[in-house]
């Protein structure tokens, strides 16, 4: 296969995968940590979050290596996955826009455990210590062993999802 044809095929595959993944609903989370280099909290919005194993309990997050919080997560060796509810969509904008980075942790709703910020009102807050990493393309996968889970009140809201480039409400279907 010629280099040009391979590049075209790769671009077509990339576009096809993007279109397919837009149809796959995913949970929306805020990944947070405290940067030991400056002592400041850091975080970003993410939907690439999955459980890896229940023995040991572990979670995987996929972080773009160009994201500002990437280096902080790497240095800290720990992170918190805050699974958001449908009432928390405004936080996603704060954590998705780098121009608003300084405002992310201004709200009084943040609490701290072991120096890591978390949202007590999130559906769940899952604290992890990094055990393995894998760099693949633009992203680094951080696999962390879970060392604490906070249930959060969730304000009774359904889990917040992301699908087709916008927010989605994730909830149970009535029994058939």
Per-residue pLDDT tens for 91-145?
Answer: 999 999 888 889 999 988 999 999 999 999 999 999 999 999 999 999 999 999 9
In this prediction, residue 4 carries a pLDDT of 61
The rounded distance, in Å, linking the Cα atoms of 50 and 35 is 23
State percent of the chain over pLDDT 70.
Answer: 92
- pLDDT band per the 50, 70, 90 thresholds, residue 156: low
The rounded distance, in Å, linking the Cα atoms of 73 and 81 is 12
Q: How much is the mean pLDDT over the chain?
A: 90
- pLDDT band per the 50, 70, 90 thresholds, residue 153: low
Q: What is the mean pLDDT of residues 4-10?
A: 69
Q: Which of 43-47, 125-129, 161-165 has the lowest mean pLDDT?
A: 161-165
In this prediction, residue 38 carries a pLDDT of 96
State percent of the chain over pLDDT 90.
Answer: 64
In this prediction, residue 3 carries a pLDDT of 62
CB burial readout 5-23, b (16+ within 10 A) else e: eeeeeeeeeeeeeeeeeee
In this prediction, residue 33 carries a pLDDT of 98
* CA distance to 75, 99, 169, per residue, from 157 (Å): 33, 28, 9
């Amino acid at each position: 296969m010629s280099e040009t044809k391979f590049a075209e095929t790769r671009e077509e595959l990339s576009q096809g995968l993007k279109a397919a993944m837009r149809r796959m609903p995913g949970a929306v989370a805020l990944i947070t940590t405290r940067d030991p280099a400056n002592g400041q909290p850091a975080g970003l919005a993410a939907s690439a979050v999955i459980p890896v194993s229940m023995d040991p309990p572990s979670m995987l997050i996929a972080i773009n290596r160009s994201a500002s919080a990437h280096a902080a997560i790497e240095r800290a060796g720990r992170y918190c996955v805050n699974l958001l509810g449908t009432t928390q969509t405004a936080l996603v904008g704060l954590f998705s826009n780098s121009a608003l980075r300084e405002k992310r942790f201004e709200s009084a709703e943040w609490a701290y455990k072991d120096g890591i910020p978390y949202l007590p009102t999130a559906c769940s807050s899952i604290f992890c210590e990094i055990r393995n990493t894998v760099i693949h393309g633009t992203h680094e996968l951080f696999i962390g062993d879970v060392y604490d889970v906070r249930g959060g009140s969730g304000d009774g809201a359904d889990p917040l999802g992301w699908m087709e480039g916008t927010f989605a409400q994730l909830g149970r279907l009535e029994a058939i």
